[in-house]
Structure 1
């Protein structure tokens, strides 16, 4: 194991990890917002929009991210639309992530007893107030486990961003292997970089899930 090589090129992995994490978090943030909106549309069964959301979810979840990125990066220029690799990666991750987040939120929404909505209506709450103060807070609590799992899944999916010429972790690793043939050392640095990114998120998600599960806010019997 050539440790001098690993020390010399570690800064490249640090820089690539920053790019990977930035694009990943941007895509995840967008997918959370759009996923919540989509789940609310399906929860209320809004005509036409519900069918569109259902079709989108099936399309997104049943096509690989790599194919979606190929379409964005190589297909759109054929239509005269040119966007950078970073933007392609963000859009692709958000496109995939929105469907997974929507399903996670939908499961949380459907777990809330309808009697709570009826009680709130009897007290004079509007539909917007019911969603804002009663349904959505509980939905987030119930949805924490699948949401955290989706976050980890989407960050791992960033490993295919190199097809868009994004200088992420995988891109740097492949470049270094091609230049110096230090496969073992490079792959070890790649594994360590992903562990540094993913392990804190995984531990934080476990702690958050545990606190909400046993806390009063996350206990449905206390509502």
Structure 2
């Protein structure tokens, strides 16, 4: 193992890690927004939008992120709607993650007992207030383990965005490998980079689960 080589190219991986994190954070935020929107639509039984959300969820969950990125980056470009690789990566991750977050939140809401809803209505709360102050907090507590798993899953999926020439961690490894042929060192750096991000994220999510469970 050539540690001098590792030290020399650590800044390259650090920059790639920052870009990967930026894509992940934006994708996660948009995923949560999409998931919450789908759940709201289904909770308040808006028929047309509910049908659209169901189609979206099935389509998103049953197609690979790789195919979605190909469509966004190459397909839309052929149609005259070319997007940068960064935008395509965020959109693709959001499109995929939104469906998983929607299903996690839906399962959490369904786990809340109907008596909670009826009790809240008896206090003269509006349906929105019931959802905001009674249903959603309990649903989040139940759905948090699933949301945590989806969050880790989404970060791992960022490794696919290298296919659209985004200089993420995998792209940094492959491009440097084609120049230096230091495969062992570069794979080690890639492994450590992902571990240094995913392990703290996993520990934080576990802590958040416990806080919500006993809140």
Category of TM-score, reference length = shorter chain: over 0.9
* Structure 1 runs, 4 residues or longer, greater than 6 Å off: none
Count of residue correspondences: 215
> Does 85-94 or 42-51 show the bigger shift?
42-51
Aligned to 2:130: 130
Whether the 8 Å CA contact 1:26–1:90 is kept in 2: the answer is yes
* Secondary structure, counterpart of 2:125 in structure 1: coil
Aligned to 1:181: 181
Aligned to 2:106: 106
TM-score when normalising by structure 1: 0.94
Q: Structure 1 unaligned segments of length 5 or more: list them.
A: 218-223
Aligned to 1:220: none
Deviations, residues 184-205 of structure 1 (Å, cap 9, x unaligned): 1000000000011100010111
Aligned counterparts, 1:1-223, within 5 A: 1-213=1-213, 215=214, 217=215
Return the alpha-carbon distance in structure 1 between the equivalents of residues 109 and 94 of structure 2: 21
Q: How far is the alpha carbon of 1:119 from its aligned partner? A: 1.2
Return the alpha-carbon distance in structure 2 between the equivalents of residues 211 and 130 of structure 1: 22
Return the alpha-carbon distance in structure 1 between the equivalents of residues 85 and 155 of structure 2: 17
Q: How far is the alpha carbon of 1:43 from its aligned partner? A: 2.7
Return the alpha-carbon distance in structure 1 between the equivalents of residues 70 and 183 of structure 2: 27
Return the alpha-carbon distance in structure 2 between the equivalents of residues 43 and 127 of structure 1: 10
Deviations, residues 112-153 of structure 1 (Å, cap 9, x unaligned): 111111111111111111111111111111111111111100
Q: Structure 2 unaligned segments of length 5 or more: list them.
A: none
TM-score when normalising by structure 2: 0.97
> Does 37-46 or 121-130 show the bigger shift?
37-46
Whether the 8 Å CA contact 1:38–1:53 is kept in 2: the answer is yes
Return the alpha-carbon distance in structure 2 between the equivalents of residues 207 and 123 of structure 1: 33
* Secondary structure, counterpart of 2:47 in structure 1: coil
Q: How far is the alpha carbon of 1:100 from its aligned partner? A: 0.3
Whether the 8 Å CA contact 1:159–1:170 is kept in 2: the answer is yes
Whether the 8 Å CA contact 1:43–1:110 is kept in 2: the answer is no
Return the alpha-carbon distance in structure 1 between the equivalents of residues 190 and 29 of structure 2: 25
